[in-house]
Amino acid sequence: MLRAPVHPTLLRWARQRAGLGVADLLSRFPKLDAWEQGEEQPTLRQLEHFAQTVHVPVGYLFLPTPPEERLPISDFRTLAGQGVLRPSPNLLDTIHACQEKQAWYREFAQHTKQAEIEFVGSATIHTPPEAVALQMSRTLEFGLEERRTCRNWEESLRYFCVQAEQAGVLVMVNGVVGSNNNRKLDPEEFRGFSLSDRLAPLVFINGNDTKAARMFTLAHELAHLWLGTSALSDMGAAPRQSKRREEVWCNKVAAEFLVQAEALAREFDANEPLDQALKRIGNIFKVSSLVVLRRLLDTGKIDQGRFDAAWGAEIGRFRRGGSGGGNFYKTTMARASRRFIRALAESTLEGQTLYRDAFRMLGISKTETFINIAREVGLQ
């Protein structure tokens, strides 16, 4: 029986990289402890199965020492004020998949002679956040007047995504790696990231975060695109301290974009019960109560104690609400960006892109499913 000459250190590294303990894998690999102690070696088939289970390229396990994996974009995440040292396999695979989609769309945009998107990289951190927030509102046509057509903040969030895509941004919202529902993305690790490009700017939102917090994350990542930077962030609607000037700036832009301080001051009544104020003001700006709370604290309308008590209650309410099942095709549109899918379907149906490549990027396996997706975006 052919044994794989793998060093025990690599097995331990791969397991820990996936955030798993030995006990988590013993049912699948009864001799894992012996492998890690160097007492036995797995067969090649066992090693391949192990690599698939812990989501690591099998070639890595034949290296003399564990590779140093670096994030391909700037990392602005913090944990207790410090940078996060090790990205999870789920995060790495998600970024790489988005980079592949972005690269494909860039080539498509060049082939179809699309114009560069002017707002990408049009600001610096020295630009007043209020000025950029106003530019974003005008560019995306997502000011208060436009939001009034929405019935509630959930509809406003959907409209926000649509407007960002119409402005040229590939907006992807997903809570798993690709279409693998067994690989859930952890919002405590990251909430979103931006991939800047003048032809194919991309924003990814962690779909496992509460819906109520996603609007702020989308606005924050769009602010990164205005700076022309690719960045990974764990900044959500909750106020968090950051030593990164860029993150602080993007947060200010996002907050002002969603709830303008001057307009908030006109609407706020200090004598109104906070729960009523959250509902009323949220309905005016068509944002969630989490965003309203954030802005009330930002602008000094409530103190930290009132904020903390209300924030915990609102988070609990949103989490109890659940997310429902959803429609497969609508879920696919959100996961891979409707703008991207329409371009991919058009290119594939015209013979410019191989069906197998389209299937892989969409995480599907049947031609019938692809045809239905093409119909969903107005083709066929």
- Among the ranges given (72-86, 148-162, 237-251), the one the predictor scored with the smallest mean pLDDT: 72-86
Question: Which neighbouring-strand residues pair with 78?
Answer: 83
Burial label for 336, CB within 10 Å (0-12, 13-18, 19+), is buried
The beta strand positions in 28-93, using DSSP E, are: 74-75, 78-79, 82-83
Q: How far is the first Cα of the chain from the last one, in angstroms, to the nearest whole number?
A: 53
Q: In which band, very low, low, confident or very high, does the pLDDT at 242 lie, cut at 50, 70 and 90?
A: low
pLDDT at residue 96 is higher than 80: yes
Q: In which band, very low, low, confident or very high, does the pLDDT at 3 lie, cut at 50, 70 and 90?
A: confident
Tokens of 350: 């015209």
pLDDT at residue 323 is higher than 80: no
Tens of pLDDT, residue by residue over 186-241, are 998 999 999 999 999 999 999 998 888 899 999 999 999 999 999 998 877 777 66
pLDDT at 113: 97
Q: Tell me: domain 8-62, CATH 1.20.1250, correct?
A: no
Q: Strand 176-177 vs strand 180-184: parallel, antiparallel, or unpaired?
A: antiparallel
> CA angle 296-297-301, nearest 5°?
55
Tens of pLDDT, residue by residue over 132-163, are 999 999 999 999 999 989 999 999 999 999 99
pLDDT at 2: 80
pLDDT at 325: 55
* Domain positions in the chain: 8-62, 86-321, 328-376
